[in-house]
A and B are shown apart, each in its own frame.
Chain A
Amino acid sequence: MSLFSFVAIYFVMSPVMSTQQITPTPEKAPPQAPSLAAPKHRRQLPIYSWAILALLLVLAYDALFSPAMFSIRFEHGRLYGSLIDVLHRGTPVMLLSLGMTAVIATGGIDLSVGSIMAISAGLSALLLTANDVATGAPITPHSAALAILAGLAAGLLAGMWNGFLVSFLGIQPIIATLILMIAGRGIAQLITDSKIPNFHNATFEFLSNGSFLALPFTISLAILMTALAVLLTRATALGLFIESIGNNAAASEIVGINTKLVRFMAYAFTGLCAGLAGLLAASDIRAGDVFKTGVNIELDTIVAVAIGGTSLVGGRFSIAGSIIGAITMQLLKTTIISSSIPPECNLVIEAAVVIIICLLQSPRTRTTLKRIFSKTQ
C-alpha cells in the first residue's frame, strides 16, 4: 500500500521536480530570413528516473523468481508481509538518506551518522534502563518522552558540531565527519560504560514495534520526515540555495546566499535524522547496543543517495530519489536473502549496482552512447 503512496507522491510532486518545458509553436518565418522560433526543448526525465527503473527491475525479478514476496496478510489489525518488512527495515536508511541528500548536495558528506545513531541509542537506553550500568543496582527509569527528547537532542547537537566544523572552521567534510565517526563511537561507549543497557518501556518500544493505520509505525515516521524534508527544501528557497552551493559555492557567496548557515543547517538536520534512527534502533532490540548500532550504515546511505540520482559532487538532488534508492537497496538485500543466492553475494551485487550507477551518472557515458547511437542512425 505504501508503494502506491510513493508512486502517488511521484505524480503529485512531478510538476515541482521535473524540468519539463512547454514547446512553443514556431511562427511562420519569412523564407529567406533565419528562423526566429524558439528552439524546441526536449522533455527531460526527472532525476529519480533511474532509481525507479532500478526498483522496477528488482520488483520484476521478485515477481518472476519469488512471487511469495508479494503476499500480504491482515492479522490483528495490521498488515504483514515481505514488502511491509522491507519498508520497515529500510526506515533507518531512509531517514539517514534524507539528511545525507542535503549534505551531499552542498558538496559535502557525512560519515558520522552511524556513530550518532549509537550515541542516541545508548543515551536513550541509559535513561530507560532499570539497572545502573556501572553497579547493576536497581534505579528508577526515566520516561519515554525524556529518552526520545534526549536521543533527538544528542543527534541534533552532534549534527551541529559537524556543521560548526565544516561551516565555521572550514574543515573538509570528510575529515570533520570522520573525526566524529571515530570519536563518536568512543563517546557512546563512555555513556553506557561500555555496556549494553536494556529496558522495558511500552511507549518507547512502540516506536519500532507498534503499528499505526495497519502499517508499522516506522513507516509513518518515515513518511512524516520525508514530507518535512520535501517541504523544507522545495516549498522554500532552501532547496535552491543547497543546489546553488553544491554547484558553485564561491558564486553563491557572492550572490548573497549565507552558505555557512545553509551548510550548518544541512548537517544539523542530518544529525537529527540520525538521532531519530538511533532511537528506532534502540527500540527495535529493546537495548542500546553501542557497539553494533549503525556500523557501516553510512555506506549504505551514500549508495542509496547515489542511486536516487543526487550528484555526489554536489548540486542537484532528489529526496524522492534517495527514498526510492533506500527502498531499492533494502529490497535487493531481502531478495538476495530469500532467494537461493548465498547471502555473501549481497556485497558483490551491491558493488555491481554502485558501479553501474556511477557509469550511468558519468557525463562521459552519455557522450559515448550518443556517439554510438548517432553512428548507427
Chain B
Amino acid sequence: MQKRVLAIAQNPVFSTAVVCIILYLVAGFTSAHFFSTRVAVNLLQDNAYLGIVAVGVTFVILTGGIDLSVGAIIGWTTIALASMITTHHVHPYLAMAIILAVTTINGAILGSLIHFFAIPPFLMTLAGLFLYRGWALLISTSTISIDHPAFNPLSDTLLKLHTGSGNVPLRLGIFVLLAAFAIAAILTRFTAYGRSLFAIGGSENSALLMGLPVARNKTLVYAISGCFAGIAGIVATTRSAAGDALSANGLELDAIAVAVVGGTLLTGGVGGILGTLIGLLIFGIIQTVVNFHSLDAAWTRIAIGTLLLSFILLQKLLRLSRTSRQSP
C-alpha cells in the first residue's frame, strides 16, 4: 500500500495535479466570484486553441522532438481560411478540409526530413515557422473578416449550460478541445502507436533495435502536430471571425510550457495528455487571476515564468528521489 502511494506521488502528473488544485483554491479564496461554473468553463474555453495545439505538441515532445511551427500554423490558418472564404468564395467546410490537408501533409514532410536527414527538430520546425509566417504575410498583411452563412453559426453559442446563477454559453472551442483530448488520450494510452512513441522518446536506438517502425511513427507525430495546429487555427478563426497573419505569435512556446508543466519531459519518453490538460487549467487559472485583479500584463509573464521554474524544480526533486531509491 505504501509503495503504491509512493509510486503515485512520484508521477510527475500527480505533482502537477496537486499544484493545480492548490492554485485553484488559493485563487478562489483571494478573488471574488471565482468559484463559479462560468469561471471554470472559461478556464478551458478561452484558451481552447492553445489547449488543442498543446495536445499536438505533447505528441512531438513525447518522442523527444519539438515543434516550433505551431503558432505560425495557426496564424496561417486564420488568414488562409479568411482569404479562401471571403476573397475566393470557397465553401467554408471545403476550405477547412483543404487547410487541414495542407498542414498535415506539411507536417509529414517536415517529419520525414527531420528523421531521414537527422536534422535537429528545433531547426527544421523553425524553418517551418518562417515558412508559414511568411506564407501568411504573403496572402495578406491586413486582417480579413469572414461573413458566410455556413461559417457564422460556428462562432455563436452552440449550447447553454444552465446553472444556478444563470446560463453559461458554450462555444465550439470547448467541444473541439474535449474531443481532441479524448482522441489523443485514447491514441497514447490504448494503441500500439501511442506506446511506441514512449519507446522512441525513451531511447530511439532501442526502439529501432526492437523493430518498431520508428521512421513511420516519427513522421506521423509531426503530421499529427500539424493537423492539431490546423484544427486549433480553425477554432481560433471561429472565435474572432477574422483572419490575421500575425496572430498567435509566440504561441508555440506557450504550448510547450503547457505540456512541460503538465509533466511531459522535454527529453521524451515520459508524460501524457492528462498532464497537458492540467497544464492548460493552470495556465487558465493564472490568466483569470491576473484579469480578476486587473494586474499588469507584466505580472502574468513573471507569474508564468516563476511557475514554470517551480514545476521543473519539483519534477527534478521527485525524479531524484526516485532514482536514488532505485540505486543499490
Listed in ascending order, the chain A residues whose CB lies under 8 Å from chain B are 109, 111, 165, 169-172, 174-176, 178-187, 189-190, 194, 299, 302-303, 306, 312-313, 342, 344-352, 354-355, 358-359, 361-365
- Additional 6 contacts, C-beta under 8 A, given A182-B253, A347-B134, A361-B119: A171-B313, A178-B253, A189-B297, A352-B127, A358-B127, A362-B118
Chain B minimum-CB-distance residue to A358:
B119
Query: Is A359 in contact with B117, judged by CB distance below 8 angstroms?
Result: yes
Given contacts A312-B122, A344-B138, A365-B117, contact A175 B312 (CB under 8 A): yes
Q: List 6 A-B contacts (CB under 8 A).
A: A182-B304, A190-B302, A306-B123, A344-B141, A348-B130, A348-B138
Contact with A along B102-144 (1 / 0, CB 8 A): 0000000000010011111011101111110111011001000
Partner of A174, one of B133, B266, B298, B300: B266
**A354 and B127 contacting across the interface, CB-CB below 8 Å:** yes
Given A194-B296, A351-B127, A359-B117, the answer on whether A175 and B266 have CB atoms closer than 8 Å is: yes
B185 smallest CB distance to A (angstroms): 24
A180–B127 alpha-carbon span in the complex (Å): 23
Complex CA gap A312/B113 in Å reads: 16
Q: In the complex where A175-B260, A358-B127 touch, is A186 in contact with B119 (Cβ < 8 A)?
A: no
The residues of A that contact B128 with a CB separation of less than 8 Å are: 351
Per-residue contact bits, chain B 194-236, to A (CB 8 Å; 1 contact, 0 not)? 0000000000000000000000000000000000000000000
Decide yes or no: A179 and B308 within 8 Å by CB, A186-B301, A358-B127 being known contacts.
Answer: yes
Contacts of B256 in A (CB 8 A): 178
Check if B316 is an interface residue, CB within 8 A of chain A.
Answer: yes
Which B residues touch A184, using CB under 8 A? Answer: 305
Q: 1/0 per residue B1-40: CB within 8 Å of A?
A: 0000000000000000000000000000000000000000
Interchain pairs with CB closer than 8 A, number:
129
When distances are taken between beta carbons in the complex, the residues of chain A under 8 Å from B141 are 344
CB of B175 closer than 8 Å to a CB of A: no
Residue from A175, A180, A181, A342 with most neighbouring chain B CB atoms (10 Å):
A175
Contact assessment for A179 and B305 in the assembled complex, using a CB-CB cutoff below 8 Å: yes
Are A171 and B301 in contact (CB-based, < 8 A)?
no
Classify chain B: how many residues form its interface, as a range.
35 or more
Q: Chain B contacts of A183 at CB under 8 A?
A: 301-302, 304-306
Main secondary structure of the interface of A (DSSP, over half): helix
In the assembled complex, the CB of A194 is this many whole angstroms from the nearest CB of chain B, namely: 6
CA of A231 to CA of B119, assembled, Å:
31
Partner of A359, one of B119, B133, B137: B119
Q: How far is the CA of A172 from the CA of B61 in the complex (A)?
A: 13
For the complex, what is the distance from the CA of A185 to the CA of B131, rounded to whole Å? 26
B292 proximal to A (CB < 8 A): no
A172 neighbours in B (Cβ, 8 Å): 266-267
Report the separation of the CA atoms of residues A344 and B137 in the bound assembly, to the nearest whole angstrom. 6
Q: B93: CB under 8 A from chain A?
A: no
* Chain B residue, CB-CB nearest to A359: B117
**Which residues on A sit within 8 Å (CB–CB) of B116?**
364
Whether B316 pairs with A169 at a CB distance below 8 angstroms is: yes
Report the Cα distance A344→B75, complex, angstroms. Answer: 14
Known A-B contacts A183-B304, A189-B297; A347 and B133 likewise in contact (beta carbons under 8 Å) = yes
In the complex, B48 has a CB within 8 A of chain A:
no
* B309 located at the interface, meaning its Cβ lies under 8 Å from any Cβ of chain A in the complex: yes
A190 to B296, CA, bound (A): 9
Contact status of A347 and B118, CB under 8 A, knowing A179-B305, A194-B296: no
Say whether, besides A175-B260, A347-B134, A354-B130, A182 and B316 are in contact (CB < 8 Å).
Answer: no
Closest 5 CB pairs of A and B: A183-B305, A347-B134, A186-B301, A348-B134, A189-B298
Is A358 a contact of B124 with CB atoms below 8 Å?
yes
Complex interface: chain B residues within 8 A of A190 (CB):
296, 298-299, 302
User: Quick one: closest A residue to B299, CB to CB?
Assistant: A186
Among A175, A186, A344, the residue within 8 A (CB) of B298 is A186
